[in-house]
Structure 1
Amino acid sequence: MRTKRSHTKGIILFLMICFIVGYFGYRFIENREIKINNDEVLKVFQQDQHSHYFYSKLNEKDQDTYRRLYYAFVDFKTSIPLEEKKVEKVSKIFQNVLDDHPEIYYVNSEYQYIDGKQFMFIPKFDMKQDKVKTTNRAVAEKTKEVLKTASQQNDDVDKAKVLYDYIVETVEYKEHSELDQKMTSALLDQQSVCAGYARAYQYLLHQVNIPCAYITGDTIIETEDKPGYDGHAWNMLEVNGDYYYSDPTWGDADDEDMEHTCYGYFLMNSTDMLKIYQPDGAYEKTSSDDDLYFESVDSYMKSYDENIISHAIQLGLKNKTRIAEIKCANQAVYNRVKKNLESSYLGYRLLTKNGCWSDQSLYYCIDELRVIELYY
């Protein structure tokens, strides 16, 4: 009995010590003023040469908060003092940092803070620093071949396509997988949701020096498997001096036996993007209404021309997908192509002419984008 009472007293004493240390430690942090080396913060921030779209949208004071948060995350600081004291503003800038930096996958979206003499931001790390280094090496090893291939392309459109194809072809859409909001779920586990698809694509584009932003919002069209006004994530790319939008999640078409890469969602202009999505925050307008990808493969129909469809069919035979994709420049051309597919056996005629008609041949239309796909 004496031993038990002694043991109980020891536990109580230990708990009291923990409480006292914790309480006075908290009061110490709350009341002392911590100095920060702004030159060091700036130096660390400038070492990252990738694009920082949301950072560019902030005023000078908010950029200072952004840089301090970034510094804390990459240097694994247990806390960082901020000049900004409004929690709502800090939370928004915190999200800006995460959205600009897919490689900071190890920082939890939740944080703590102490609002005392200074506002102290206390990050929560999902991984220890050694584990992050190991994971980064695994990502580098996994992606080195596709990044090498992308880097060898002649222009940014082809680089972006190589990486778009890679994400679509290697990642399986699967909800509730571990860390499915992080790029590592797509690049390492190869199972993710839209957030993982978009962050992984953003990360790869940054590696080949193509500016890319992670955009969130809602889808505004409703299909059988895509409900309207559903939360979603996609990407904004800066290519050839203009802004375009890609959605590798929806590009990963999985329609029964017709799994394929859909390029209707690759390098959309802002006009087409806004027909499908409603961004939550900042985005840029595309200055041109032309289509970068479909024009590059001669599958962009500005006026009705069946030779363009035949060309797309031949491309599908050459790349062995047996899928032809065309995009129409305006609604009148699109309506004519669609009408002829429905009532004039256009698909049958052209597929027969190109020697690839079968009883399983069919077509699919994406009305919002004026894109038509032939499967044969």
Structure 2
Amino acid sequence: MKMRSLKSGCLSVVLLLVLLLSCGCTQHTPPADVSSLPHNDISKVVSAISEVPVTSVPSAEEKSEVSDTAAVSEISVPSQETHDVSDTSPSEPSEASEISAITEPVSSEESIDHPSSSHPDPSAFASEPAPESSLEDNSQPSEEVSLVPVDETSLIKGLRKKYFVNRLDTPSLQNFARLYKGALDCTERVTFSYEIPSAQLDTLMFLLNYDCPELIHLSGDYIPIYSDTYGDYVSGVGLIYYMSPDEYHQGMETLSQFQQQLSEQTAGMSPRETEQYVYDLLFNTVVFDDYSAHSGSIYGALIEHRARCEGISKAFAWCLQHCGMECMTVAGTPLWENTGAYAGHSWNIVRLDNDYYYVDVAADNLRSYPEESVVPLYGFLNSSEAQMQRTHLMNDIFRNLGVPPCFSDQMNYHVAAGQYISSDDDMQECFERILYNRYVSGEYMQISIRLDTEISYQNFIDNWESWLEQFCQKEGYVSCGNTVYYNDVSLTVVIVINPQ
């Protein structure tokens, strides 16, 4: 009975202590008989006291407020980031540190300040804040955060004509719209709402350069603003410009006048005639120049008349798009020899009668100085995939987005003119047929012939003069002062005949 009474008293003491703690009491007076309890029962009391939690747990409402705060904030916390919190295991960061990381805003300058020396230093872009028009105002975040305002995509001029931009997924298109708006505003730094992979930035900048020929002031170069030390993610990008804002707007006014003239000159033309007109316009007016200030833009090609392949292909696409045709610019690597240090190239894809064709104006016989006398070869005017794959390797960025199939050769310049010679044909017979169809006595004549293989091309070069002489003897013609142009890239031969 005495032992049972002691146990009963011990239980009463425990219940009394738990009751006092649950009521929030901070001081209590132990019962007088606690000291008389056996040692093992006192240990139970102490153990029970130590197990009572003394730290308050956030309520569901408090957790909800924290969650709402995190949803509104645009600050992203990299998964690699660890917080130095005392008495907290690295694998289990404290709740207080997580809440602090979400709710405390980080300035845009801080978000791009990284110590890695293996990447370009973006400090030049962090020193001056970007114009307010190029970035969202995050001072009062809304409950529903959008990557960019809905109307930013409407700022993309001729969006429906941009083949590759229209193939972007929605998040990528929104990020592209932010870059495009930044370029329109001549912003030096564009910051994304969240970090994106570096590879995605490369794709977006490629399209900003090649699918938006109207951005005549934008350089193809840019400075990624990395958000990690490995260069895998970026928080923004630094844009580089050829022109000042005033020069850009003046240049666009000049190009607007050019557009008006082009509309008048091509009025009533069929799409194929319009394409030929624009091709000849560029060939006859542009001097190939790798180094002029605007050689990579349509302004350099159409206004200054000096451009490299990038500016020429953009100008070709821009003119045809203005005339209501579908045309795009792609880029890659030229596979022909003697390209030197310049390993990049750009060309076009155009749609004619529901088929797509490749066009490369810059690979034609362009002049190197204004006074040079040249003749067009038309070696890559409406070529098929089979005709281009020997000499052009397209960048994977375009192929990954999806390139329209270019299988037809029906609209190829030489095929349509009956001046394409296949290795399966009787080469001399085909050449005589071409001469007969084109030969007009006493008139200046220029014939462009395209061969299908290197072997047939070399065979034609070795024999065309003797075949021409035999033809003239048979038909009673006499030719003199003949001139020939060879292009082993496009396997094209142009013969200028002066018949007597």
Q: TM-score range by the shorter chain?
A: 0.7 to 0.9
User: Which moved further from structure 2: 214-223 or 176-185?
Assistant: 214-223
**In the TM superposition, what are the counterparts of 1:208-223 in structure 2 within 5 Å?**
208-222=323-337
8 Å contact kept, 1:107–1:125: yes
Mapped pair 1:361 → 2:482: yes
- Structure 1 counterpart of 2:435, one-letter code: I
Aligned residue for 2:437? Answer: 311
User: 1:73 offset after TM fit, Å?
Assistant: 2.4
Checking the alignment, whether the CA contact within 8 Å between 1:250 and 1:262 is kept in structure 2 is no
Equivalent position of 1:279 in the other structure: 394
Given that residues 52 and 100 in structure 1 are in contact (C-alpha distance below 8 angstroms), is that contact kept between their aligned partners in structure 2? Answer: yes
Residues 100 and 214, structure 1, Cα contact 8 Å, conserved in 2: yes
SS at match of 1:85: strand
The separation in 2 between residues aligned to 1:134 and 1:326, in whole angstroms, is: 43
1:137 alignment counterpart: 253
Q: Residue 150 of structure 1 contacts residue 163 of structure 1 at CA under 8 Å; is this kept in 2?
A: no
Residue of structure 1 equivalent to 2:345: 232
Bigger-Rg structure (1/2):
2
Amino acid at match of 1:297: A
Cα deviation, 1:257-285, whole Å, max 9, x if unaligned, reads 75112211211111111111111232443
Question: What is the 5 A alignment of 1:245-260?
Answer: 245-254=358-367, 259-260=374-375
Q: TM-score w.r.t. structure 2 length? A: 0.59
Query: What is aligned with 2:264?
Result: 148
2:409/2:415 contact within 8 Å kept: no
Q: Could you state the TM-score of these two structures normalised by the residue count of structure 1?
A: 0.76
CA RMSD of aligned residues (A): 3.9
Contact 1:217 1:278 in 2 (8 A): yes
Structure with greater helix percent: 1
Conserved? CA contact 1:313–1:324, under 8 Å: no
Structure 1 41/357 Cα, relative in aligned 2: closer, same or farther at 3 Å? same
Q: Which moved more, 1:237-246 or 1:72-81?
A: 72-81
Residue of structure 2 in register with 1:195 after alignment: 310
1:327 aligns to what? 450
Q: Following TM superposition, by how much is the alpha carbon of 1:331 offset from its aligned partner in structure 2, in angstroms? A: 8.3
Residues matched between the structures, number: 343
> Which residue of structure 2 aligns with residue 10 of structure 1?
none
Equivalent residue letter for 1:163: V
Deviation at 1:310, TM superposition (A): 3.0
Answer yes or no: is the 8 Å Cα contact 2:159–2:166 preserved in 1. no
Contact 1:157 1:293 in 2 (8 A): no
TM-superposed CA distance for 1:336, in Å, is: 6.9
Identify which of 182, 205, 222 aligns with 1:72: 182
Determine the structure 1 residue equivalent to 2:162: 52
Counterpart for residue 375 of structure 1: 496
Cα distance in 1, alignment partners of residues 364 and 387 from structure 2: 15
CA distance in 2, matches of 1:39, 1:329: 50
Structure 1 position 68, deviation (Å): 2.5
Task: Provide the residue aligned with 1:242 in structure 2.
Answer: 355
Q: 1:174 to 1:77 in 2, by over 3 A?
A: closer
CA distance in 1, matches of 2:129, 2:391: 52
What runs of 5+ residues in structure 2 fail to find an aligned partner?
Answer: 1-125, 229-233
Q: What is the alpha-carbon distance in structure 1 between the residues aligned to residue 127 and residue 372 of structure 2?
A: 62
**Cα deviation digits, residues 127-153 of structure 1 (max 9, x gap):** 444432221121232454344323431
Whole-angstrom distance in 2 between the partners of 1:316 and 1:270: 39
State the Cα distance separating 1:299 from its structure 2 match: 3.0
CA apart distance, 1:207:
0.9
Query: SS in structure 1 opposite 2:479?
Result: coil
CA distance in 1, matches of 2:344, 2:440: 37
Change (3 A) 1:74 1:340: same
* Contact 1:312–1:326 (CA under 8 A) maintained in structure 2: no
Alignment-mate amino acid for residue 208 of structure 1:
C
* 1:207 aligned onto 2:322: yes
Q: Which amino acid aligns with 1:348?
A: E
Does structure 2 retain, via aligned residues, the 8 Å contact 1:252–1:260? Answer: yes
Question: Which of 196, 202, 209 is 1:91 aligned to?
Answer: 202
Counterpart of 2:9 in structure 1 is none
2:104 corresponding residue in structure 1: none
Alignment of 1:93-112 (within 5 A): 93-108=204-219, 109-111=221-223
Tell me the secondary structure at the aligned position of residue 165 of structure 1.
helix
Identify if the C-alpha distance between structure 1 residues 354 and 323 changes in structure 2 by more than 3 Å, giving closer, same or farther: farther
Over 3 Å counting, the alpha-carbon distance change for 1:165 and 1:134 in structure 2 is same
C-alpha distance in 1, partners of 2:242/2:264? 30
Kindly tell me: are residues 144 and 311 of structure 1, through their superposed partners in 2, closer, same or farther at Cα, counting changes over 3 Å? farther
Q: Are residues 62 and 272 of structure 1, via their aligned partners in 2, closer, same or farther at CA, if it must alter by over 3 Å?
A: same
| Distance in 2 (alpha carbons) for counterparts of 1:334 and 1:354 | 27
How far, CA to CA, are the matches of 1:315 and 1:365 in structure 2? Answer: 25
Say if 1:55 and 1:96, in contact at 8 Å, map to a contact too: yes
Q: Is 1:150–1:160's contact at 8 Å kept on the other side of the alignment?
A: no
